[in-house]
Amino acid sequence: MTAENKNQIKALVIDDEPFIKNILTILFEMEGYSVLSFDSGLDAFEQAKKSKYDIIISDYFLPHMDGIELIQKVKELHPYIASILITGVGDEQTVIDAFTKGHVNSYITKPFNNEEIIRIARLALKEQEIKKKEDSFQEELKEKIKEATKQLKEKNELLEKGEKETKKLYDKLKEEERLIKKKNILLQKLSVTDGLTGLYNHRYFQRRIKEEFIRAKRYNFPLSCLMVDLDDFKILNDTHGHQVGDRILTEFSMILNNSIREVDMAARYGGEEFVVLLPQINIDGAAILAERFRMAVELHKFFGTDKPFNITISIGVSTYPAGDIKTDGDLLKAADTSLYRAKNTGKNRVVVHTIMGEKAVGGGEILTIAEKRKLLSDITMLLNRNIGINELLKVFLNRLKESYDIKPDSDMLYAIMLIAKNGEPYNFISTGVNGNYKEEILANAREVVKSREIYLFHSKDNGKVFSAIPIITDPGTNDENVIGVLNISTTIEDKDFIKDISNILSIAIKGAKKQE
């Protein structure tokens, strides 16, 4: 445990698995937290009686009491403590109980990502801080209302003393009552809206997405999510100043509100990022709406400088139900991944999350023109390298992985199966591919040799999509021959480009064979 100081965040960590408990303790101590860890809910609760804590991170399955009960009891002692529930397994009822009974800020399943749990902890602390301020504000408001009510009572007593003042005092009381109601409505609105744009705020969005996801799952309705980011907004802010930037965000929000239905929900997620929930809209409808909105922003003239100017946006789209989307967190993460792809493939585009990977709306290709040129240049350089065939294939796959992976931790798989003259596979080189897929790649390689065309197949264990691309030497001649199959675990949109790469690779393979 780190030495405490006055401003240090105090955390309780509870998990009956020593390894997980130690990992969490070290992780949060590295972030500067003061951490006390326990393997029993009862011990943790006794400690909570002795001292005030800022956040509790608890496993669901614990001795003596489960994580939800523990968080309930601790919140009775410290109402504004942030809380995160962690569990290895959990059904829908567990999730519902966590949020309705335990009032947890977030729910995470094992195994968890270290960076993700730190980010969630920060959001939970921030959410509880906002709740504390809001409750304090509400208490202050109650006192003012109480005082106003007292004054109203006193004024009513004055009304009984003289008929002449009755009408005048009555009208004044009604006006004050109207103002109080108006202020209450305004305060309620301010608690859920963003002060600059007038859209819903991040905190309210987190509540709504949980509610909408539970409803969609219960009634088997589609639920789509858009993550929207203004392209190069930081440059615009630095160039024209924050006042112009704020004006653009406000005007942009008006376009967004005019582009969605009344039942839809738009919120400012943070900075220049926005999020939209589309109940009962499937993936096709969400993609159409997103593309229409993107075009509306691109064509709109924004003012605030000497000359009107245009801005562009990038949008990531995800929809439940989908095979890899099980929770509201999955839905949001999928939209964020698609947004990341849109930002890193040229911006000003809509990218949709599917079980077969991220796809740009309108048949957009995975790589930009600049990325294609760079990749072709790098592949061509392989022709001049004096290396063996196995090293050649590994270098090629690693370079291909750098270009096509959506994120550094992407689970995309790449492999090459070389084919002998008799049509039988004889060499297998892979990057990121485990043994579970080798036999399936081998079986489908024979289909590619027969057809000499790009072939799609699904893995048997988890339905992962593979594109199998023939590597052909001397295409279009009498000596044309398939010498290998390139496998990538995604659906390839730009088929002509990947064929060109494969043909260039075939030349490099022939050269390496001659050297051997």
39 pLDDT exceeds 50?
A: yes
Mean pLDDT of 64-82: 89
User: For residue 359, with 0-12 CB atoms within 10 Å meaning exposed, 13-18 middle and 19 or more buried, which class applies?
Assistant: buried
The pLDDT, as a whole number, for residue 386 is 74
**Which helix or strand (DSSP H or E) is residue 427 part of?**
strand 425-431
Q: How far is CA 92 from CA 184, 209, 225, 254, in A?
A: 36, 15, 21, 37
Q: Does residue 290 belong to any structural domain of this protein?
A: yes
- Report the pLDDT value the prediction gives residue 143, as an integer from 0 to 100: 85
Q: Report DSSP state, residue 2.
A: P
What is the rounded distance in angstroms from the CA atom of residue 355 to the CA atom of residue 191?
A: 37
User: Which pLDDT does position 2 carry in this prediction?
Assistant: 46
Decide: 20 and 59 in contact? Cβ < 8 Å: yes
In a domain, 508, yes or no: yes
CATH number of the domain encompassing residue 380? 3.30.450.40
Residue 197 lies in a domain: no
Where is average pLDDT lowest: 25-39, 421-435, 473-487? 421-435
**Percentage of the chain lying above the pLDDT 70 cut:** 86
The verdict on residue 54 lying in a domain is yes
CA distance 143 to 234: 43
In this predicted model, what pLDDT tens digit does every residue of 161-202 receive, in sequence order?
Answer: 776 776 777 777 777 777 766 666 555 656 788 989 999 999
Indicate if 384 and 458 belong to the same structural domain: yes
Residue 1 placed within a domain: no
| pLDDT above 60: residue 135 | yes
Specify the CATH number for the domain of residue 244: 3.30.70.270
Q: Which of 108-112, 310-314, 426-430, 512-516 has the lowest mean pLDDT?
A: 512-516
SS3 of residue 352 by DSSP: strand
Q: Is 196 inside a domain boundary?
A: no
Per DSSP, the residues of 67-134 read: HHHHHHHHHHH-TT-EEEEEES---HHHHHHHHHTS--SEEEESS--HHHHHHHHHHHHHHHHHHHHH
- Tell me if 313 is assigned to some domain: yes
15 and 40 fall within a common domain: yes
Give the pLDDT confidence of 487-498 residue by residue, as tens digits: 887 766 677 788
> 346 with 209, same domain?
yes
The dihedrals phi and psi of 102, each to the nearest 5 degrees, come to -80, -20
Helix (H, G, I), strand (E, B) or coil at 429: strand
Cα dihedral 444, 447, 448, 449, rounded to 10, equals 120
* Banded pLDDT at 35 (limits 50, 70, 90): very high
List, for residues 194-227, the tens digit of each pLDDT value.
989 999 999 999 999 999 999 999 999 999 999 9
**Residue 104 is part of a domain; what is its CATH number?**
3.40.50.2300
Query: Residue 363 above 50 pLDDT?
Result: no
State the DSSP string of 450-502.
Answer: HH-S-EEEE-TTT--EEEEEEEEESTTSTT-EEEEEEEESS--S-HHHHHHHH
Average pLDDT over residues 139-164: 78
Residues 234 and 311 in one domain: yes
Q: Are residues 355 and 206 in the same domain?
A: yes
> Domain count of the chain?
4
Q: What is the pLDDT of residue 45?
A: 92
Cβ atoms 41, 62 nearer than 8 A: yes
CA pair distance 324, 87, nearest whole angstrom? 19
Per-residue pLDDT tens digits for 439-489: 888 888 878 888 888 877 777 765 567 788 888 887 777 777 888 888 887
Range of the domain at 499: 369-515
Give pLDDT tens digits for 77-94: 999 999 998 987 667 777
222 three-class SS: coil
Give the residue from 107, 126, 145 where a domain finishes.
126
Q: What distance in Å separates the CA atoms of residue 60 and residue 68, rounded to the nearest whole number?
A: 7
Does residue 279 share a domain with residue 217?
Answer: yes
pTM: 0.45
Q: Which residues are catalytically annotated?
A: 272
Same domain, 209 and 356: yes
Residue at 2 is within a domain: no
What average pLDDT score do residues 347-374 get?
A: 73
- From residue 371, alpha-carbon distances to 314, 349, 399 in Å are 18, 16, 12
DSSP string, 365-409: -SS-HHHHHHHHHHHHHGGG----HHHHHHHHHHHHHHHH-SSTT
